[in-house]
Amino acid sequence: MTQDQDQASGFWRKPRATALLVLANGLVHEGFGQGAVGEAVGEVCFNTAMTGYQEILTDPSYAGQIVTFTFPHIGNVGVNDEDVETSNLAAPEGVRGAIFYAPITEPSNHRATQSLGAWLKARGIIGLYGLDTRALTTYIRDNGMPNAVIAHSPDGVFDIERLRAKARQWPGLEGMDLVPGVTAPERYGWTEAAWTPDHGYRAAGAGKFKVVAIDYGVKRNILRLLADAGCEVTVVPATTSAEAIEGLRPDGVFLSNGPGDPAETGKYAVPVIRTLLESKIPTFGICLGHQMLGLAIGAKTKKMRQGHHGANHPVKDFTTGKVEIVSMNHGFAVDPASLPANARETHRSLFDGSNCGLELTDRPAFSVQHHPEASPGPRDSHYLFRRFVEMMEKAKARPA
C-alpha cells in the first residue's frame, strides 16, 4: 500500500483500505477499490497473461470467478467497444471481480475509448488493487482456488464477519450450471470476420459450409475464425434440441466454450450431442465444448486444483508431434483414463499432463481444451479451424 502523511501528528500512516478480499477460510486481504462499489462472491483464480485483459474480463467462461492478474500493470491500452468477447451483451452472468497489483494505468492507445476503471464501474465489476498478487497466486497454487467475497466500499467500512460467512456459505462451482446465464436467448446468424489492421473487424464473406454453433458461452473471436475458415455460422441457445439443430441441415456442429461444472451442463447438453454424433455430423468442441464431447462419449470430468488460466501454456499435439503455446481458461478437465475405446487423446498439457484434446475413431468429431482463437494469446492453434473445415469437406465428399 502507499502511505500518506498524517498532517495533524506528523507521523506516516497507511491509508484506510477501501476494498477487501475475504476468503472462505477467514483470511482477509486489504486493498483499494476501483470500478463498481459493492460486493460479489466467487471462486478466485489467477491469470498469467500479459495482454488482453479486456478479452479476459469479457470471456463468459469466467462467470462465477474473481480473476487475479499476475502481470502487475493493467490498463495501459484502455478499453474499446470492439474487443468485448461476450457475444450476449445482456448476459446476467460474468466475471465477479478483478484483482490487480498496481493501480489501473491510464490508457495510451489509439483504439482506446475509455479507461479500464470507468469501464469496470459501468459494467458493475468490482476491482481491487494494492494486494500482493504474487502471494495470492502462491496461495492458490498450494491450496487450490478458494471461494471468496470481493468488496469495495469507498468509506472503508466493512462487516468482515458477515463477509466471511457469505464466502463460507457460497457452494462453489462444483455442481453449478452457469450456462443459462451466458447463452444466447435465441438463434441468430453470425456476420463478422477477424480483425485486420487496415479494416478492423470485417464483414464475413459467403460461407461454403453451414455450421451450427451451440452457445454455452461462446467467445466472439471463435465465431470470427469460423467465418474466416469459410463457415456460415448460425448460433443457437444451449438448450436447443438435436431435432432443431438437424433441421438446419448443418455441415458441421461447433460446441462452444462456457463456464461452470460440465457435469451439470451435461444433464441437458449430452443427450443432444449424442444424437448429433449418431447422425455423424462433423463436430468440433472447444473448452466446455471439449468437456461436453467427453461426457457424451462416456468419459468423466474432474475439478482441477488451480485450473489453467493464461496465454503461455505448452501443449503437445500428438497428431503432429508439435508443441504449441496456447491460451487456456478452465477449472475442470476430462479424465483421460476414462476415455472409451473409440476415443484417443490428441493433446496434452506439458505443465501438468492433463488432457487437452480428443478425437473419435468411429465418428467425425474432435475437441480441444484450450482456446485456439487466441483472444488473447498466441496463434499456434489456428490450424484447428482448418482441420474442422477439412473434416466437413471429407464428410460432404462421401457418398450418401
| Contact between residue 306 and residue 45 where contact means Cβ atoms under 8 Å apart | yes
The one catalytic residue among 43, 93, 232, 373: 373
Rg (the chain; Cα; Å): 22
345 given a catalytic annotation = no
The one catalytic residue among 287, 330, 347, 356: 287
* 241: amino acid identity, one letter: S
347 given a catalytic annotation = no
Residue where the block lists cell 494494492: 130
All three cell numbers of 165, joined, read 460467512
DSSP states of 320-377 as a string? TTEEEEEEEEEEEEE-GGG--TTEEEEEEETTT--EEEEEESSSSEEEESSBTT-SSS
From 257, 258, 259, 251, select the one nearest 283 (Cα to Cα).
Answer: 251
* 198: amino acid identity, one letter: D
| Contact between residue 49 and residue 310 where contact means Cβ atoms under 8 Å apart | yes
Helices 288-296, 262-278: axis angle to 10 degrees equals: 60
All three cell numbers of 200, joined, read 478492423
The one catalytic residue among 308, 347, 370, 371: 371
* 58: amino acid identity, one letter: T
Q: Rounded to whole angstroms, how far apart are CA atoms 234 and 201?
A: 18
93 given a catalytic annotation = no
DSSP 8-class letter at 106: P
Termini Cα distance of the chain: 68
Active site residues: 287, 371, 373
